[in-house]
Amino acid sequence: MGEEAELFHHPDRNLALEMVRATEAAAIRAVPWIGKGDKNAADKAAVDAMRVFLSTVDFDGVIVIGEGEKDEAPMLFNGEHVGSGKGPKCDIAVDPIDGTSLTAAGRSHALSVLAVADRGTMLDASSVFYMDKIVTGPEGRGVVDLRKPVGENLRGLAAALGKDIAELRVAVLDRPRHEQLIREIREAGAGTRLILDGDVAGGIIAAQRGTRIDACIGIGGSPEGITTACAVKALGGYMQGRLAPKDDAERARGEAAGLDIDKVMELDDMVAGDNTFFIATGVTDGALVKGVKREGPIIRTESIVLRGRSGTLRRIEAEHLVEKWLDEADR
């Protein structure tokens, strides 16, 4: 009885494999919009496909990180219930396309993303749009801290990795708000890897062992920060986050929602416990996964599934028949 109850109330390993179908569907449906310059159309196609597939999965999911409030987004909105309503009760973070601008421009590193955790464990930071963050591999634990100067963090991380600081590579979103951060990273002696969009992938690569990125630092979306935390847990990496309201009005909204705006959050503050899943399918080619490819009657996808409880990363390559997926106009 105890084991049966455990499986019913908590996400199990089969749930993650079911979720892959939803990210695959979103990525495939976005393909006709790659390079077409219409990020909203790409996003809508991915959202519609993800919603359909989520409705077939046996779980009781509530979207904590989604497309916005219900009255502002007729898509996968915050607070929406998804799934069949049967099975484990879960918090869900969705980003049908992490990198809509990348997709619209035909650039690399666009992903379709889902994250899952036990009900009530995922921080709802939707009232504050931005989050300052730092992500590293396990070597950063007890070494880096958002309260320290960037140079001090990088010198400590280099020592922990056994590297000269000149060998460090730091991923940073290429935004005007990061001009000072980029300058400080370079003045410390480290190099930058500027990313146009998609800081979820940047954080995951920084947390993985054996990659060319040693850290991901800077201000990105709060939803992406919470989603990244689910992945970092499974990778055994280290992450801190601190909400970054853009003005006093947003700070007030965050405080009214019960958020501690100035707190430096550890992983468990963002997603409590280790029963987390992170699932991503490539839309366009990137360092994390390959993008969708059509080869005659076959569509190929590549996905990753990260499970916090077991600390596993699985890669799933799938072949799909074109006739089962694309509309007549797309063939």
3-state secondary structure of 55: coil
260 annotated as a binding-site residue: no
Q: Work out the burial of residue 248: count CB atoms within 10 Å of its CB; fewer than 13 is exposed, 13-18 middle, 19 or more buried.
A: exposed
The answer to whether 258 is a known ligand-binding residue is: no
Do the annotations mark residue 100 as ligand-binding? yes
User: For the chain, how long is the longest CA-to-CA vector?
Assistant: 60
Question: Does the annotation flag 221 for ligand binding?
Answer: yes
**308-312: Cβ within 8 A, 24+ apart:** 308/230, 308/233, 308/234, 308/273, 308/274, 308/275, 308/276, 308/277, 309/274, 309/275, 309/276, 310/13, 311/234, 311/235, 311/236, 312/234
Q: Determine how many CB atoms are found less than 10 A away from the CB of residue 28.
A: 26
327 is in an annotated binding site: no
Q: Does 175 show up as a binding residue in the annotation?
A: yes
The half-sphere exposure of 60 on its side-chain side, counting CA atoms within 13 A, is: 10
Residue 98 annotated as binding site: yes
11 appears as a binding residue in the annotation: no
| Residue 198 labelled as part of a binding site | yes
Six-digit token string for 44: 């809508």
- Is residue 248 annotated as involved in ligand binding? no
Is 177 marked as binding a ligand?
yes
Q: Is 241 annotated as a binding residue?
A: no
The answer to whether the annotation marks 199 as part of a ligand binding site is yes
Residue 269, marked binder: no
Residue 30: which of 6, 47, 5, 55 has the closest Cα?
47
DSSP, collapsed to helix, strand or coil, labels residue 251 as helix
Yes or no: say if 188 and 223 are a contact pair by the CB < 8 Å rule: no
Name the nearest CA neighbour of 57 among 77, 82, 36, 32.
82
Residue stretches of the annotated binding site for Mn(2+): 43, 67, 95, 98, 224
Residue stretches of the annotated binding site for substrate: 98-100, 130, 175-177, 197-199, 221
Residue stretches of the annotated binding site: 43, 67, 95, 98-100, 130, 175-177, 197-199, 221, 224
